[in-house]
Amino acid sequence: METPRIVRTSCRGCHGVCQVLVHCDAAGRPVKVTGDPDSPTSRGYICPKGAAAI
């Protein structure tokens, strides 16, 4: 069985296209979406629409 991991990707929920981190469980299923603090544009911010993407 795999270990939990974090995937760096982009939210396409609107025109902002914010950088996000998708937290996956051991089976690879997404369980949470957070803003990417390393993003030069969103600087870790994520709107409610992006946070509810799961």
Alpha-carbon gap, residue 39 to 26, rounded angstroms: 26
Q: Domain total for the chain?
A: 1
pLDDT of residue 1: 55
Say if residue 47's pLDDT is above 60.
yes
Q: What is the CATH number of the domain that holds 15?
A: 2.20.25.90
Strands 5-10, 30-35: parallel, antiparallel or unpaired by DSSP?
unpaired
Query: What average pLDDT score do residues 32-43 get?
Result: 92
Identify the band that residue 23 occupies on the pLDDT scale cut at 50, 70 and 90: very high
Take residue 30 and report the two structure tokens written for it: 């997404």
List the beta strands (DSSP E) in 14-54.
Answer: 19-24, 30-35
Residue entry with tokens 């996000």: 20
What backbone phi and psi angles, to 5 degrees, belong to 16?
A: -70, -30
Find the domain containing 38 and state its range. 5-51
pLDDT of residue 45: 92
Identify the band that residue 43 occupies on the pLDDT scale cut at 50, 70 and 90: very high
